[in-house]
Amino acid sequence: MSRGMPRLPRPLMDLWDWQSQAACRDVNPELFFSPESERGVRKRAREMVAKSLCGTCPVQPECRQHALSVGEPYGVWGGTTESERDNDLPEQRKSA
Ligand code: SF4
């Protein structure tokens, strides 16, 4: 264990700074989050539009990593839907 000054946590701004470059910053969040009653073709169409915007986003890797690391249960993040993230990391999601 090191002596001297205790380690301070990283500034929170560093953790969230990537969001300032998000392509979806000024987009209605309803594009990324499904209404409870949404199903089938309508849901897939909305997700496809959201994912196409993610495809242009300069911080897609950071966004996706955030969603995976916190186990975001809803919405399109980093070009992935909730079910795609479930498939990516089923073991990590179960143990969170
Ligand atoms: S990857 Fe998609 S959801 Fe994430 S910040 Fe970019 S546009 Fe928004």
Per residue in 18-33, pLDDT tens? 999 999 999 999 999 9
Residue 63 annotated as binding?
A: yes
Residue 6 alpha carbon to ligand 1 centre in Å: 35
Tell whether 8 is covered by a domain.
Answer: no
95 located within any domain: yes
- Total domains, the chain: 1
Flag whether 58 is in a domain: yes
Question: How many other CB atoms are there within 10 angstroms of residue 33's CB atom?
Answer: 14
User: Taking 90 as the threshold, does the pLDDT of residue 7 lie above it?
Assistant: no
pLDDT at 60 over 50: yes
Q: Would you say residue 45 lies in a domain?
A: yes
Kindly give the residue spans of alpha helices, DSSP state H, lying in the chain: 12-16, 40-54, 60-70, 82-88, 90-95
Tell me which residue of 89, 49, 51 sits closest to 71, measured CA to CA.
Answer: 89
Indicate which atom in ligand 1 lies nearest the CA of residue 22.
Answer: 5
Measure the CA–CA gap between 74 and 52, rounded to whole angstroms. Answer: 18
| Domain region containing 59 | 39-96
C-beta of residue 58 within 8 angstroms of C-beta of residue 14: no
Question: Distance between CA atoms of 96 and 69, rounded to whole angstroms?
Answer: 9
Q: Is the pLDDT of residue 64 over 80?
A: yes
Which atom, in ligand 1's list, is nearest to the CA of 23?
7
Q: How far is the CA of 9 from the centre of ligand 1 (A)?
A: 26
